[in-house]
Amino acid sequence: YEKAATQLARENNPLVFAKVDCTRNKELCDSVQVQGFPTVKLFFHQRMHEYMGPRRAAGIVSYMKKIMTGLTVIVDTAENLATYTQKPPVMVGFFDSIDSQESLEFERASLIEDAVEFTFVHVVNASLVEGLGQKVNTVVMYRQGGGQATYSGEFDGNEIARFAAGHAHPYFMNAARSWDRLIVERKVKHIVLVAADVANAEEWQPLRQVFTKLAEEYAVKDTGFVFVNHAMLTQEALYSKQQYSFAVKLGHSGEFYPAVLVMHPEDERVFVVPEETEMTEDSMRDYIEGVRNGSIKGKPKSAEEPENNDGPVKVVVGTTFDDLVIDNDNDVLVKFYAPWCGHCKDLIPIYEEVAARFANEEEVVIAEFDSTENDQARVTIKGFPTIYLFPADHKDEPIKFEGDRTAEAFDDFLYQHATCVLRTSTPLLQTLFYCSNLLSYRRSLLTLSLSTSNLAGKVRPQREAPLAHPTLPDEL
């Protein structure tokens, strides 16, 4: 809060930041309905509003700049209104009073993060509203690219803001222009991507018409629509375009076009509409709804299984992920990588060294997963390389490796988090550390052995370790 205030003050922004200690000013805080801490309120136009923006310094600055440039305005002539509607996108509300409940909800919508970038205009002159051919308590979005969309829902600020975000821009756009906006601003859960020869009008125009209608239908739902020229589905083209960073996960075979893919950015699942599916409004709507409600499960993208997988680093593909990583009693360390990633290439010899060190540990598997050729839904990968340990006794709680990329750091990580306590070359310790069925005792046994023999931090596979203390019971 202080960082944001300092930065805006340096920029000579007229916004005033203030703070109140409610333990010393209870009456004041009660008067503005403070119910928890911290609470942030905005005061402008002689009204109090809830702060609904980010809570980190950079986010506060960005949000408040938008607030200061896009505050709701009041117009009283058709000419004044035209100065705003000629610069879309802009939201216009037609009311009989600036203090009506509908007008207040409209103003509240302008402060919600989804809609804070848009200008909200109040028309509160009843005769002007009538002269413009509108009805009182009507909200209209003047859309970028032309056209209007009229809000028909309940007067709720959140719903009005969602309507603004969904209808402000063209419904069906090239992915290069709208991908980030859909994910970052609209926060959609699904993206429908159409790949076709957009230069072929005979093929493209019917598709464009179908998907534009669907995109308008889903404008206030959690689904966005984009298109690319089918040539952009080649891996080489995708790697050279950062805006398609997620599209490297595409599961399309490249054997047929036009193609439709329904993607789930959060967990990186991709559903390819079967080639034989007719591309009509009804059939596409049915498929999209099937993905949204979970009735269509989709097929994971997968490379071919390797014929020989006997090396120290096991190769995992989409179709073998559950079998090799999840559905077993092993601790499995998985490196998620991309072949073109420089850091991934640097890690190869180190990772192979780690795998060689643990080659004799039957309960520990060192594996790798090419995320550009395969899909999995267990963890979200946002960069390469990313490494997770899937412990034997809680596969649903993978542990992310965030240490230095050295063999020693991987050693320490595995010794700290592996479910099966690792063995060494010393016979007594092999017996002590062996992963027996007495799972409930394994950690206490390890703690006892480490504390009495001062082995903490010294036990490593394939290395000489100190003998256990002679006072340990023979059973151990």
State the DSSP string of 403-431. S-SSHHHHHHHHHHH-SSPPP-SSHHHHH
Mean pLDDT highest for which of 86-100, 232-246, 247-261?
A: 86-100
Instruction: Tell me how far the alpha carbon of residue 309 is from its chain's centroid.
Output: 33
Range 303-308 average pLDDT: 92
pLDDT computed for residue 231 by the predictor: 58
pLDDT of residue 88: 93
Residue with tokens 């200008």: 119
Straight-line distance from the first to the last Cα atom of the chain, in angstroms, rounded to the nearest whole number: 57
Computed over every residue of the chain, the mean pLDDT equals 83
Report which residue type is found at 16. V
- Enumerate domains of the chain plus CATH numbers: 1-69 (3.40.30.10), 73-168 (3.40.30.10), 173-293 (3.40.30.10), 314-417 (3.40.30.10)
**What does the block give as tokens for 392?**
């034997």
Distances (CA, A) of 144 to 85, 90, 164, 235: 10, 8, 11, 32
Of the pLDDT bands very low, low, confident and very high (cuts 50, 70, 90), residue 288 is very high
Which one of 10-14, 258-262, 266-270, 342-346 scores highest in mean pLDDT?
A: 342-346
pLDDT, position 471: 46
Q: Does residue 407 surpass a pLDDT of 90?
A: yes
CB atoms closer than 10 angstroms to residue 364? 24
Least trusted range by pLDDT, from 117-121, 278-282, 354-358, 405-409: 117-121
What pLDDT is attached to residue 254?
52
Name the nearest CA neighbour of 379 among 340, 414, 412, 333.
333
The share of the chain scoring above pLDDT 90, in percent, equals 52
Edge to edge, the sheet with strand 138-142 lists 73-75, 119-123, 90-94, 138-142, 148-150
Task: Write down the pTM of the prediction.
Answer: 0.59
Distances from the Cα of 256 to the Cα of 64, 80, 196, 264, angstroms: 48, 53, 10, 22
Q: Which residues contact 7 (CB under 8 A, 6 or more apart)?
A: 57, 61
Residue 226 forms beta bridges with which residues? 173, 193
SS3 content of the chain, % helix, strand, coil (to 5): 35, 15, 45
